[in-house]
């Protein structure tokens, strides 16, 4: 400011409802920050809005066969699958919450019963602030159909989870469904506190010399800047369809990217693939949003969120 007065520090806090209040809107995305311990060597993770940890299932899982990652134009394709240490080991290990971070645990399951059991066990731990429900998992009992592709299945799962836990339920939507608005409305009606989107977009890469798929599991999930316009469009549509907060995810790599999602109506954002290049990207984005607000004389995030001008 050139009037000699110190700019007032803007209020970056955001209340996502259902007991989840964040100091600011910048979170890490599940599966890209592991359990947060590694990254805490490089940055003070407690400064971020929240750390969303890798998806946790009831039992440990090995994930998919290698190779599991391939670089693509402006992004990457991964087929890590559901690899994780399982809920018991997760709860017994040193914990991010002890470093002052707000912890959101991403959960997954192959049946409603598995999701419920994982949620029940995690709900006993006061260091956990919220559950992010990954509904991109196949329901083995129903023949491998993904929960997130079908509004009835998605809503049945969230309704059962709502009865099982008092933790904030953030439901993570898959872009690989035909109708993002239909799924968004179904999980809102079933009791979700917030939505997060998008998960990765299914894709494939072929090694022409070998005439073989590059990934061991043939197809994988596309992430990174390549998916950002798709993610932004879906967030914009979801915001217009539901009354609960929407968290934007997909290719966010710098401040302007995050601002686009906030202007489109996202209450907060998650940063994923970009942290592979530099684990400090979420912090840089947080500082970028703060500077943008100071420069624009804004006092609260509501000065940015859902301010898209049309026409």
Chain positions contacting ligand FMN, by CB under 6 A? 29-32, 54-55, 78, 80, 106, 134, 172, 199-200, 223-224, 227, 249-252, 271-274
Measured from the CB of residue 211, what is the shortest distance to ligand FMN in angstroms?
26
Measured from the CB of residue 15, what is the shortest distance to ligand FMN in angstroms?
23
Toward ligand FMN, which CB reaches closer, 199 or 260?
199
What's the gap between Cα 210 and its chain centre? 35
Measured from the CB of residue 100, what is the shortest distance to ligand FMN in angstroms?
22
Toward ligand FMN, which CB reaches closer, 168 or 172?
172
One DSSP character per residue, the chain reads --SSSPPPPPB--EE-STT-EESSSEEEPTTSSTTSTTGGGTS-GGGSSBEEEEEE-SS-B--PPSP-EEEETTEEEE--TT-B--HHHHHHS--GGGGT--EEEEE--SSHHHHHHHHHHHTT-TTEEEEEEE--SEEGGGTSEEGGG-HHHHHHHHHHHHHH--SEEEEEPPTTSS-HHHHHHHHHHTT-SEEEE--PEEEE-EETTTTEESSTTSEEEEESGGGHHHHHHHHHHHHHH-SS-EEEESS--SHHHHHHHHHTT-SEEEE-THHHH-TTHHHHHHHHHHHHHHHTT--BGGGTTT-----
Comparing every residue's Cβ against ligand FMN, the nearest one is 31
Q: Of 137, 158, 192, 246, which residue is the catalytic one?
A: 137
Q: Is 137 among the residues known to form the active site?
A: yes
Between the alpha carbon of residue 133 and those of residues 6, 43, 281, the distances in Å are 42, 26, 24
Measured from the CB of residue 131, what is the shortest distance to ligand FMN in angstroms?
11
Toward ligand FMN, which CB reaches closer, 10 or 227?
227
Measured from the CB of residue 193, what is the shortest distance to ligand FMN in angstroms?
16
Toward ligand FMN, which CB reaches closer, 134 or 139?
134
- At residue 255's C-alpha, the angle toward residues 252 and 256, to 5°, is 85
Tokens linked to 178: 């035909």
Toward ligand FMN, which CB reaches closer, 10 or 50?
50
Toward ligand FMN, which CB reaches closer, 1 or 277?
277
Measured from the CB of residue 308, what is the shortest distance to ligand FMN in angstroms?
21
Active site residues: 137
């Amino acid at each position: 400011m050139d009037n000699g007065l110190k700019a007032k520090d803007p209020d970056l806090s955001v209340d996502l409802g259902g007991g989840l209040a964040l100091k600011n809107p910048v979170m890490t995305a599940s599966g890209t920050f592991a359990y947060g311990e590694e990254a805490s060597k490089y940055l003070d993770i407690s400064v971020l809005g929240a750390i969303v940890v890798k998806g946790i299932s009831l039992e440990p899982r090995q994930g998919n066969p290698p190779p599991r990652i391939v670089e693509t134009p402006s992004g990457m394709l991964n087929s890590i699958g559901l690899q994780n240490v399982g809920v018991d080991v997760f709860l017994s290990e040193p914990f991010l919450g002890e470093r002052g971070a707000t912890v959101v645990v991403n959960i997954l399951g192959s049946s409603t019963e598995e999701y419920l059991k994982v949620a029940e066990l995690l709900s006993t731990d006061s260091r956990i602030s919220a559950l992010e429900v990954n509904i991109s998992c196949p329901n083995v009992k129903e023949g491998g159909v993904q929960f997130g592709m079908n509004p009835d299945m998605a809503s049945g799962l969230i309704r059962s989870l709502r009865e099982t836990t008092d933790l904030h339920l953030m439901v993570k939507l898959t872009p690989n469904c035909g109708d993002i608005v239909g799924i968004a409305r179904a999980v809102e009606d079933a009791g979700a506190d917030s939505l997060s989107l998008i998960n990765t977009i299914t894709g494939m890469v072929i090694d022409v010399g070998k005439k073989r798929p590059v990934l061991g599991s043939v197809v994988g999930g596309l992430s990174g800047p390549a998916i950002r316009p798709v993610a932004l469009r879906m967030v914009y549509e979801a915001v217009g369809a539901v009354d609960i907060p929407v968290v934007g995810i997909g290719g966010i790599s710098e401040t302007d990217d995050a601002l686009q999602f906030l202007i489109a109506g996202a209450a907060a954002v998650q940063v994923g693939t970009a942290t592979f290049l530099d684990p400090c990207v979420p912090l840089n984005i947080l500082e970028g949003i703060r500077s943008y607000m100071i420069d624009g004389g804004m006092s609260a995030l509501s000065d940015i969120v859902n301010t898209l001008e049309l026409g």
